Amino acid sequence: MDMILTLAAQNLLSPIILCFALGVAAALARSDLNFPEAIAKGMSLYLLFAIGFKGGASVAGHGVDGQLIASLVAGVILSALLPLIAFALLRSMTKLSTLDAAAVAAHYGSISIVTFVAGSSILEAQGIEFEGYMVAVAAAMEAPAIVSALWLISRQGEGAKSMDGALMREIMLNGSIVLLVGSFVIGMVTGKDGLSEIAPFISAPFKGVLCLFLLDMGLVAGRGLARAKGAVSGATIAFGLIMPLIGAAIGLLAALVLGLSVGGAALMMVLSASASYIAVPAAMRVALPEANPAVYLTLSLGITFPFNLTLGIPLYVATASAVIGG
């Protein structure tokens, strides 16, 4: 418990978290602070490229082995399984319709790459090493959750667009997935030599850009919370706090089976506990257009994302250290 509280205090006082808090506070105070859309998009692209490239370079040094492949398979299974658990929990805890419950569930099987980046940064600050291929696991966990959500809807006999070519293109060619996977491949091909060539671009500015990006995310989350009054109930908010803990516990079990390091286990917990607010909302607009965005965006971006940044990540790191680090 002392370790969790210490990590939480350090995390809450880090520039990354304080920038997010500033954004939320500015939004709730109705400040006119704002990032132009092009700049916000540029920061997102930079972060995806940097984390993908560094992960690929790490894999080049590590080599492709059975543990990497097993981790990718485990990520796909987790992404497909977690929405089923989330859906059952939502149907028992809340009054959400089947359609909205399935849309929300998809977000909790997919991942938040920004939460992953924040978790990686905190591990690096703590001097805790982790498997570089975890970024590939993150990419593998983006899409299966969407397929699970569509299966849930078809099983319930409610309307949803079929898994046609247009929807598959929307899922698999989502910009975040393409850039993350593409930069990972480039990093893996060029290895440490390629990393050293562009290190001044993707290493030194990384945390500064992350701070500005999370300031913008705080603004988005704060304004979403302000607009969504009445859209979600207390039970729905409780789900947004409970589901990350359930996902993290399942992620820890997977990490134990895979034999991951403390850092790798912590990141598997972060991935399993996070909720998408980029790739899945884009797919939901196509696949489940009648689902209410105020519900799934408020939960993923307004409730679970802040919880993971402030309390969740320190809890996951401390738990992985206690269970695996001995």
What's the pLDDT at 4?
57
What's the pLDDT at 296?
86
Yes or no: say if 209 and 46 are a contact pair by the CB < 8 Å rule: yes
Q: For residue 299, what is the DSSP state?
A: I
Report the C-alpha gap between 72 and 135 in whole angstroms: 10
98-104 average pLDDT score:
91
State the angle between helix axes of 206-227 and 37-62 in degrees (0 to 180), rounded to the nearest 10.
130
How does residue 264 score in pLDDT terms, banded at 50, 70 and 90? very high
> Side chain identity at 93, as an amino acid letter?
M
* Cα dihedral across residues 49, 111, 273, 77: positive or negative: negative
> Side chain identity at 156, as an amino acid letter?
Q
pTM given for the model = 0.80
What's the pLDDT at 258?
95
| Tokens standing for residue 255 | 């990490």
Yes or no: say if 187 and 195 are a contact pair by the CB < 8 Å rule: yes
The residues, ordered by sequence, that sit 6+ positions from 130 with a Cβ below 8 Å of its Cβ are 120, 123, 261, 262, 263, 264, 266, 267
Taking residue 253's Cβ as centre, other Cβ atoms within 10 Å add up to: 16
* CATH number at 2-22+34-323: 1.20.1530.20
Yes or no: say if 102 and 39 are a contact pair by the CB < 8 Å rule: no
Whether the per-residue pLDDT at 246 is higher than 80: the answer is yes
Yes or no: say if 216 and 43 are a contact pair by the CB < 8 Å rule: yes
How does residue 248 score in pLDDT terms, banded at 50, 70 and 90? very high
129-144 average pLDDT score:
85
Collapsed DSSP state (helix, strand, coil) of residue 278? coil
| Tokens standing for residue 279 | 């790739």
Report the C-alpha gap between 255 and 267 in whole angstroms: 9
Q: What is the DSSP string of 102-121?
A: HHHHHHTTS--HHHHHHHHH
Whether the per-residue pLDDT at 1 is higher than 80: the answer is no
pLDDT digits (tens, 9 = 90+) for 51-80: 788 878 877 876 777 888 999 899 999 999
For residue 294, the surrounding DSSP H or E stretch is helix 293-297
